[in-house]
Amino acid sequence: MSPSVETTPPPSDRVRLRRKPGRGHHDRATIDAILDAAPLCHVGVVVDGQPYVTPTFHWREGDHLYIHGASKNRTLSVADGTEVCVTVSILDGLVLARSAMHHSANFRSVMILGRAHRIEDPDTKRARLKGFIESLYPGRWDALRPMTDTELKATAVLSLALDEASAKVRDGGPMDDEADLSWPVWSGVIPLRTALGAAVADAHTPAGTPPPALGMAVAPIPGSD
Amino acid sequence: MSPSVETTPPPSDRVRLRRKPGRGHHDRATIDAILDAAPLCHVGVVVDGQPYVTPTFHWREGDHLYIHGASKNRTLSVADGTEVCVTVSILDGLVLARSAMHHSANFRSVMILGRAHRIEDPDTKRARLKGFIESLYPGRWDALRPMTDTELKATAVLSLALDEASAKVRDGGPMDDEADLSWPVWSGVIPLRTALGAAVADAHTPAGTPPPALGMAVAPIPGSD
């Protein structure tokens, strides 16, 4: 994707791109594709004026992003009912230019602002947790030892509407100053990607059981091994 | 690394590990190794009570972490002189268990709290930016078109002391309930790693110029391609 003309306007001034607005996107197709392409997000909350940024897995169903954790988890407890920021970032490449200043990175990122809410209804919570497992490992939920009510109670699921979100994307080569183009140094892009290693079964897995197929969220990008 | 006994005490209660303290580390060797193993961090700041989490590159020199950006960058402007949170997370693997609840992830992460400060002295700032380029691409700084004073002024560098930091590490296989071990489903670990693609030179790179060797911060983990 090249830096593109902004077509969908930002849903709020808070998620308007201030720096390099040409890299900004507010259309849900772009936002959803990034959210669905990586399992890891960073959740920002505020406690006594101090920001805390915690890594955790996320998943998306329709117009909401979900995160989960132990019911006693502090980040989730603080986040419930308060304004949070959830950011998903995928680093796609290192961009090397002829001047230090024009070095850059290719990336895709999404920032979501909003009030997170804990899901209270047990059936809804169970359905969302199933959606999470299925997003990572399609077909796995029904093969697992069923979730108990105690486990369900011990797990918190928070939802965050995608109403106020922005995406930022950079790709392509270095953008050197015209006068620097003849400077004799290697310049270009070194791509980075997430690669899957060989699955390692534990000692109790029945012999001959194949590892699960992975869902979109963790599939390597095309061309990776 | 297995969940280990805590040897170095947390430098403050704010960075004491609340959940699964057995995964926590406060020794600088563990913290530094994680900070040096990945170039991407997430910076949390607070504006009008709202947290914002922004991805950016970081680097470490001695007892400080550094981030940089355009002088007009909002996150950097807000962060200067205020309490921030910088989190670095490396996802090492997906952990599949026999129950949904015991699914997990192998990861290494560091959270740093503290007051960030903009570096004002031009010579110091230039030295830190050289350190950044050299950490990613050893030997590259001197091969680049030299940084101008205007470029230096347009760039902000913030430092953050590593005084108040914690690391969290999970590795190893699933920790299933004993009663579930005979449940007939594949369980184990699917490793994830950052892999480097083939470097792509831009059209102005002199023919035959080799791409740079990469520094530790972006080197693939052992065994990756």
pLDDT digits (tens, 9 = 90+) for A178-215: 999 999 999 999 999 888 889 999 999 999 999 998 88
Residue B202 CB: number of other CB atoms within 10 A?
A: 18
Q: Which residues in chain A touch residue B93, judged by CB atoms under 8 angstroms apart?
A: 197
Sign of CA dihedral B28, B32, B33, B35: positive
Sign of CA dihedral A108, A114, A115, A119: negative
Per the CB < 8 A criterion, the answer to whether B66 and B159 are in contact is yes
Q: pLDDT confidence of B10, banded at 50, 70, 90?
A: confident
Q: Which residues in chain A touch residue B50, judged by CB atoms under 8 angstroms apart?
A: 14, 46, 83, 85, 113
Asked if the model's pLDDT at residue B29 lies above 50, the reply is yes
Q: Between B100, B107, B192, which is nearest A197 by CB?
A: B192
Q: Do B50 and A83 touch (CB under 8 A)?
A: yes
Q: What angle do CA A51, B78, A26 make, to 5 degrees?
A: 80
Cα B191 to chain centroid, rounded? 19
Q: What's the pLDDT at A222? A: 42
Amino acid at B161: A
Amino acid at B11: P
Q: Which residues in chain A touch residue B200, judged by CB atoms under 8 angstroms apart?
A: 173, 188-191
Q: Do A101 and B188 touch (CB under 8 A)?
A: no
- Which residues between 135 and 174 in chain B have a beta carbon less than 8 angstroms from any beta carbon of chain A? 136-137, 140-141, 143-145, 147, 151, 154-155, 173-174
Q: Which residues in chain A touch residue B191, judged by CB atoms under 8 angstroms apart?
A: 196-198, 200
Q: What's the pLDDT at A217? A: 57
Mean pLDDT confidence for B69-73: 93
Q: What's the pLDDT at B216? A: 64
pLDDT digits (tens, 9 = 90+) for A24-34: 899 999 999 99
Q: What angle do CA B105, B108, B113 make, to 5 degrees?
A: 125
As a whole number of angstroms, the distance between CA A146 and CA B100 comes to 8
Q: What's the pLDDT at A113? A: 98
Q: What's the pLDDT at A225? A: 38
Q: What's the pLDDT at B217? A: 57
β-pairing, A164-170 vs A104-115, is: antiparallel
Report yes or no: B98 at the A interface, CB cutoff 8 Å: yes
In angstroms, what separates the C-alpha of B46 from chain A's closest C-alpha? 6
b/e string for B71-103 if b means 16 or more Cβ within 10 A?
eebebbbbbbebbbbbbbbbbbbbbbbbbbbbb
Residue B117 burial (CB < 10 Å; 0-12/13-18/19+)? middle
Amino acid at B90: I
Q: What's the pLDDT at A216? A: 64
Q: What's the pLDDT at B196? A: 87
Sign of CA dihedral A59, B84, B82, A158: positive
Q: Between B69, B86, B202, which is nearest A188 by CB?
A: B202
As a whole number of angstroms, the distance between CA B178 and CA B169 comes to 23
Report yes or no: B79 at the A interface, CB cutoff 8 Å: no
Q: pLDDT confidence of A224, banded at 50, 70, 90?
A: very low
Sketch out chain A's domains with CATH numbers.
20-180 (2.30.110.10)
pLDDT digits (tens, 9 = 90+) for A100-142: 999 999 999 999 999 999 999 999 999 999 999 999 999 999 9
CB pairs < 8 Å spanning A and B: 278
As a whole number of angstroms, the distance between CA B212 and CA B138 comes to 8
Cα B127 to chain centroid, rounded? 21
**Whole-Å CA distances, A119 to A16, A54, A75, A195, B109:** 29, 20, 15, 33, 27
Q: What's the pLDDT at B5? A: 46
As a whole number of angstroms, the distance between CA A90 and CA B200 comes to 19
**Whole-Å CA distances, A177 to A103, A174, B139, B203, B206:** 12, 9, 22, 14, 17
Asked if the model's pLDDT at residue A220 lies above 70, the reply is no
In angstroms, what separates the C-alpha of A127 from chain B's closest C-alpha? 12
As a whole number of angstroms, the distance between CA B225 and CA B220 comes to 7
Q: pLDDT confidence of B210, banded at 50, 70, 90?
A: very high
Sign of CA dihedral A205, A206, A209, A215: negative
Q: pLDDT confidence of B225, banded at 50, 70, 90?
A: very low
Q: Do A195 and B195 touch (CB under 8 A)?
A: yes
Q: Do B187 and A205 touch (CB under 8 A)?
A: yes
Q: Smallest Cα–Cα separation from B22: which of B5, B44, B2?
A: B5
Give φ, ψ of A152 to 5 degrees: -65, -45
| pLDDT over 70 percentage in chain A | 92
Mean pLDDT confidence for A54-75: 96
| pLDDT, averaged across chain A | 91
In angstroms, what separates the C-alpha of A21 from chain B's closest C-alpha? 12
β-pairing, A188-196 vs A117-118, is: unpaired
Asked if the model's pLDDT at residue B102 lies above 80, the reply is yes
Q: Do B199 and A193 touch (CB under 8 A)?
A: no
Mean pLDDT confidence for B46-75: 96
Mean pLDDT confidence for B110-130: 98
Q: pLDDT confidence of A16, banded at 50, 70, 90?
A: confident
What are the beta bridge partners of residue A55?
A42
Q: Which residues in chain A touch residue B151, judged by CB atoms under 8 angstroms apart?
A: 99-101
Report yes or no: A216 at the B interface, CB cutoff 8 Å: no
Q: What ipTM score was computed for the predicted complex, to two decimals?
A: 0.93
Asked if the model's pLDDT at residue A68 lies above 60, the reply is yes
Amino acid at B133: I
Per the CB < 8 A criterion, the answer to whether B69 and B93 are in contact is no
CA torsion, ordered B112, B117, B121, B124, to nearest 10 deg: 0
